[in-house]
């Protein structure tokens, strides 16, 4: 059967297209920009942020010695940031934002305490760190020049804490085993939120009708939002969790682990479907498709087959939801388009500095530029929102963060194929695709999970590169 299939005309056409586009992509300027790394380690060592960290660490240790912290806190839970970081990551989707903030700050303080009493400790030094730190500075400056300074400063303190949590992740999660443990913690919590979301759907919730066009989608009775208050936000959270769960399923050995992961995937996948978030659906299809190609390029044929069969196997509610993408008769679509138009008009005057963070800042200026008197709390597009809140400099710095993120991950994948790293990276890809249609940082707990994924990806990339280097030296 396989021999007959390979001799068919359709197979030969698909094989030719696959080969052609693979070569085209591999030789493209964009891909080459991601695959070459000419930045030397001495440049990182001489960077300002490294000098500041070394100075900070020096004085922390002087103070710690004088106060005898090494004796007081030796083997204390207060000096074990991995425990605090794990608790923070685990509880982020299910507890109030301010409690997450307290745990994130506790994790940072624990890291500083450990660094001050452990003479062998060194902060991790990666090129992306300077970009992340620069983004935190942009947030701080933006809050001080905001139209609504009081509100923006409060939000800035929260955002900076969650951005800086990235440094906790890269400094306390340093081994492949620790990465896998954290991923299992995240997927277990993700599964519990999904079970709760399915419970919501089974027993109904009139409140969730607020996110539906009842005229176009009368068959859809509710949209799941679980513990994250909004179906789109919940879908965005699952976008970051499901892909690395797929990668764990593919790499783990033993039928018990595979069965467990398959069940969790089924539960979270069902919850994602029940969010009825079209952007998240497109995001997960995109991320899983890229992950499948990373695992084995032959999956492209299975993908094409599933695409052809999908109209015959998917429920009508899902098909009608998909086919409504881009339909201006859908109030959700027209609502977003009008907001984007108004936001772009606003940015003609505020693209340099932005207007600051928060609903008050946005709603002070946006109504002057809105189309059809559409009201909105944000721009419904992460990239527009970055310029709205932080100006073009903030947007450029964030692009720098993402460029270095993907460059590090792609170089690592090229050096050593790592399916788990692929799951982390493709989850981010799906999230960024969804960000074109929604303000995916609207929920600050999702912001924390975003920076956790960034930190885990960076750590996994460095582990791969180090293992590759060790193999070459052997």
Confirm whether 343 is domain-assigned.
yes
* Number of domains present in the structure of the chain: 2
pLDDT tens per residue, range 30-60: 455 555 655 455 455 546 667 777 788 888 8
**Same domain membership, residue 122 and residue 160:** no
Residue 27 lies in a domain: no
**341 and 261 within one domain:** yes
Whether residue 270 is found in the same domain as residue 403: yes
The structure tokens listed for 279 are 């952007």
Assess whether 287 and 338 both reside in one domain: yes
Do 196 and 296 have their domain in common?
Answer: yes
Per-residue tens of pLDDT for the chain, all 474 residues: 445 545 555 555 555 555 554 554 455 444 555 556 554 554 555 466 677 777 888 888 888 788 887 778 877 888 899 999 999 999 999 999 999 999 999 999 999 988 888 888 888 889 899 999 999 999 999 999 999 999 999 999 999 999 999 999 999 999 999 999 999 999 999 999 999 999 998 887 655 455 554 444 445 667 899 999 899 999 999 999 999 999 999 999 988 999 999 999 999 999 999 998 888 999 999 999 999 988 887 777 776 777 777 666 666 666 666 556 655 555 677 788 889 999 999 999 999 989 999 999 999 999 998 887 788 888 999 999 999 999 999 999 999 999 999 999 999 988 888 999 999 999 999 999 999 999 999 999 999 999 999 999 999 999 998 887 766 665
Q: Which domain holds residue 146?
A: 134-473
Residues 104 and 171 in one domain: no
Task: Express each pLDDT in 189-248 by its tens digit.
Answer: 999 999 999 999 888 765 545 555 444 444 566 789 999 989 999 999 999 999 999 999
Judge whether 187 lies within some domain. yes
User: Are residues 217 and 118 part of one domain?
Assistant: no
């Amino acid at each position: 059967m396989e021999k007959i299939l390979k001799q068919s005309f359709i197979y030969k056409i698909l094989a030719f297209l696959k080969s052609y586009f693979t070569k085209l992509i591999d030789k493209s300027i964009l891909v080459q920009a991601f695959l070459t790394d000419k930045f030397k380690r001495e440049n990182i060592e001489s960077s300002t942020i490294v000098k500041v960290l070394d100075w900070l660490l020096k004085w922390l240790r002087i103070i710690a010695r004088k106060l005898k912290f090494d004796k007081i806190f030796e083997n204390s839970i207060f000096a074990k940031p991995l425990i605090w970081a794990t608790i923070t990551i685990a509880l982020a989707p299910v507890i109030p934002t301010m409690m997450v903030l307290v745990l994130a700050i506790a994790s940072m303080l624990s890291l500083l305490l450990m660094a001050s009493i452990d003479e062998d400790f060194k902060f991790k030094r990666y090129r992306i760190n300077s970009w992340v730190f620069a983004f935190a500075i942009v947030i701080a400056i933006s809050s001080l020049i905001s139209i609504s300074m009081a509100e923006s400063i409060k939000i800035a303190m929260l955002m900076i804490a969650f951005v800086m949590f990235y440094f906790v992740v890269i400094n306390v999660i340093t081994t492949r085993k620790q990465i896998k443990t954290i991923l299992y913690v995240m997927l277990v919590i993700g599964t519990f939120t999904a079970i709760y979301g399915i419970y919501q759907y089974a027993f109904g919730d009139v409140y969730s009708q607020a996110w539906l066009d009842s005229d176009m989608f009368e068959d859809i009775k509710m949209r799941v939002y679980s513990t994250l208050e909004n179906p789109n936000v919940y879908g965005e959270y699952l976008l970051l969790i499901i892909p690395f769960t797929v990668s764990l399923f593919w790499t783990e050995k033993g039928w018990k682990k595979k069965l467990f992961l398959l069940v969790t995937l089924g539960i979270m996948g069902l919850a994602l479907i029940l969010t009825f978030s079209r952007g998240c659906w497109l995001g997960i299809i995109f991320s899983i498709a890229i992950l499948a190609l990373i695992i084995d390029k032959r999956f492209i044929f299975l993908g094409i087959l599933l695409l052809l069969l999908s109209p015959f196997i998917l429920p009508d509610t899902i098909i009608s939801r998909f086919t409504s993408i881009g339909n201006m008769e859908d109030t959700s679509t027209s609502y977003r388009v009008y907001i984007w138009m108004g936001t772009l008009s606003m940015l003609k005057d505020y693209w340099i500095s932005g207007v600051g963070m928060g609903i008050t800042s946005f709603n002070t200026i946006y109504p002057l530029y809105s189309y059809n008197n559409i009201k909105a709390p944000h721009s419904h597009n992460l990239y527009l929102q970055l310029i709205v809140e932080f100006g073009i400099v903030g947007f450029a710095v964030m692009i720098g963060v993402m460029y270095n993120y993907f460059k590090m991950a792609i170089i690592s994948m090229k050096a050593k194929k790592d399916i788990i790293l692929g799951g982390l990276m493709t989850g981010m890809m799906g999230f960024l695709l969804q960000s074109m249609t929604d303000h995916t940082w609207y929920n600050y707990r999702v912001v924390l999970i975003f920076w956790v994924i960034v930190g885990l990806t960076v750590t996994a990339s460095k582990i791969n590169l180090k293992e590759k280097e060790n193999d070459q030296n052997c």
